[in-house]
Amino acid sequence: MVIKGFSTKAVHAGELIDKRFGNVITPIFLSSTYLSPNESQEKYIDPTRNKPYLYTRLGNPTFTSFEQKYAALENASYALSFSSGMAAITTSIMSAVKQGERILALNQLYGQTYEFFKEVSTNLGIQVDFVSVDSLNALEIPAKEYKVFYVESITNPTMQVCDIKTVAEYCIEKGIDLFVDATFASPYLQRPLDFGASVVLHSATKYIGGHSDLIMGLFATNSKSIYEKVVEYRSTLGCIPEPFSVYLALRGIKTLALRMERQQSNAMKLAKFLSQNEKVSKVNYPGLENNEYHDLAKKVLNGFGAMLSFELKGGYEAAKKFIRALKLCIVAPSLGGVETLVTLPLETSHRQLSIEERMRMNINEGLIRVSVGIEDYEDIEKDFSQALEAVS
Ligand SMILES: Cc1ncc(COP(=O)(O)O)c(C=O)c1O
């Protein structure tokens, strides 16, 4: 039976059910090594090598189960899991771009990804140019020969929306590989391969895991040649996840749609509440009708997501007072878990940036980022309300 529904796939696709045991969920395979040769008539095949499983750095049945489930959600032919989102990003970029080739990347990226492009890739002889989301959306692109465009669906931390549809069409026409980090959207809200992107990447640490209890990354593509290269690099660099983390992600991803629906509903209410507060000078959330990315978000996302950021009129000092006054919502980096997490990007995700870089990315000192959780909305609002009162 062909399964079409997102949640049905999230629950059933890829599960490793072995009728000899009658298990209903995928087991955790901790085995680092496998019989070789394996002469069983019923042996399972590691799809990364089209041969029986041999060694977990190359492939593991728990990974395969998760990778097949994720590929089904992403409408992808191939997927691979990694030890972290950064491992998925760096491995897939290094496998796709050679010395002397050029990448065009957004200038507002997750801080560590930006660092990778700024420093590491330069050491590898890879040229990286940066462009703003607005320039890229308007296809104002430097006249250079690019191998890869690298974007995030919704940028961190000011929630600008990238026009994946327009950019993918441009990339297809010019023969450029478009890589999309869709972590903030999650596969529930956006499937970049459907728009024609070559590669989609996720920090599965976030919405896919969903419970702030694992670190993992994901890669998916429809291109056999890109996949085979990444398989090779993953085996060589050894950046595979832990089987137990994969089990947690397998469990977490089953409720992605439910969590995201609740989280984005809470985020919309919180964004409206904040925009009406006199101490708040700005709210960045594409779900707000007056947000400049609102119409674009409707075009490229199946919802507005659960990440928002805002600024207080009192700047950095007020932001620090606000987060210190929170009693329920948790002050910590990361995002996408069931709990509401609040952070100052200046002190966490974007701490390595120079003032000039921050200014270019519109990350003001007092910017507060919120990953809205699944709690009862009234409790989140109450906490924000009392913390705003603590700000003079
Ligand atoms: C958009 C985005 N991409 C990638 C990463 C890196 O993921 P990980 O921490 O799993 O390595 C993060 C982490 O916060 C992120 O926010």
Mutating to test ligand 1, I would choose from 205, 218, 348, 371 the residue with most ligand atoms within 8 A of its C-beta, which is: 205
Give the range among 34-38, 99-103, 356-360 with minimum mean pLDDT.
Answer: 356-360
Provide the mean pLDDT of the chain: 96
Closest residue by CA, ligand 1 atom 2: 110
Signed CA dihedral, 244, 261, 300, 361: sign only: negative
Q: Give the pLDDT mean for 201-222.
A: 98
Residue 349 pLDDT more than 90?
no
**Residue ranges lining ligand 1, Cβ < 6 Å:** 84-86, 110, 113, 152, 156, 181, 183-184, 203, 205, 215, 217, 334
* Ligand 1 mean position, distance from CA 86 (Å): 6
CA distance 215 to 200: 18
* pLDDT category of residue 258 using cuts at 50, 70 and 90: very high
Tell me whether the omega of the peptide bond preceding residue 37 falls within 30 degrees of 0, making it cis: yes
| Max intra-chain CA distance, the chain | 73
Q: How many helices (H) and strands (E) does the chain have?
A: 16, 14
**Quick one: which atom of ligand 1 is closest to the CA of 334?**
14
Q: Which positions are catalytic?
A: 57, 110, 181, 206
* Ligand 1 mean position, distance from CA 93 (Å): 15
* Ligand 1 mean position, distance from CA 110 (Å): 7
Q: In what order do the strands lie in the sheet with 217-221?
A: 78-82, 217-221, 199-203, 177-181, 148-152, 102-106, 127-131
Q: ∠ at Cα 124 (120, 130), nearest 5°?
A: 60
**Quick one: which atom of ligand 1 is closest to the CA of 217?**
10
CA distance 251 to 26: 9
pLDDT at 325: 98
pLDDT at 113: 94
Task: Output the six-digit token pair for 286.
Answer: 């594409």
**Quick one: which atom of ligand 1 is closest to the CA of 216?**
10
Residue 351 pLDDT more than 80?
no
Q: Give the pLDDT mean for 61-80.
A: 98
Residues β-bridged to residue 219: 80, 201
* Ligand 1 mean position, distance from CA 23 (Å): 33
Own/partner contacts of 47-50, CB < 8 Å, gap of 24 or more, are: 48/80, 48/231, 48/235, 49/231
pLDDT at 354: 80
* Structural domains in the chain plus CATH codes: 6-253 (3.40.640.10), 256-389 (3.90.1150.10)
**Quick one: which atom of ligand 1 is closest to the CA of 152?**
1
pTM, to two decimals? 0.97
* Ligand 1 mean position, distance from CA 289 (Å): 28
Residue with tokens 């950046």: 239
Closest residue by CA, ligand 1 atom 10: 85
pLDDT at 356: 82
CA distance 67 to 153: 21
pLDDT at 352: 75
b/e per residue 302-320 (b: at least 16 CB within 10 A): ebbbbbbbbbbebebebbb
* Ligand 1 mean position, distance from CA 288 (Å): 25
Query: What is the four-CA torsion angle of 298, 303, 307, 311, rounded to 10 degrees?
Result: 40
Query: What is the four-CA torsion angle of 116, 118, 123, 126, rounded to 10 degrees?
Result: 90
Nearest to 269 by CA among 157, 188, 381: 381
Closest residue by CA, ligand 1 atom 7: 85
Mutating to test ligand 1, I would choose from 83, 86, 155 the residue with most ligand atoms within 8 A of its C-beta, which is: 86
**Quick one: which atom of ligand 1 is closest to the CA of 86?**
11
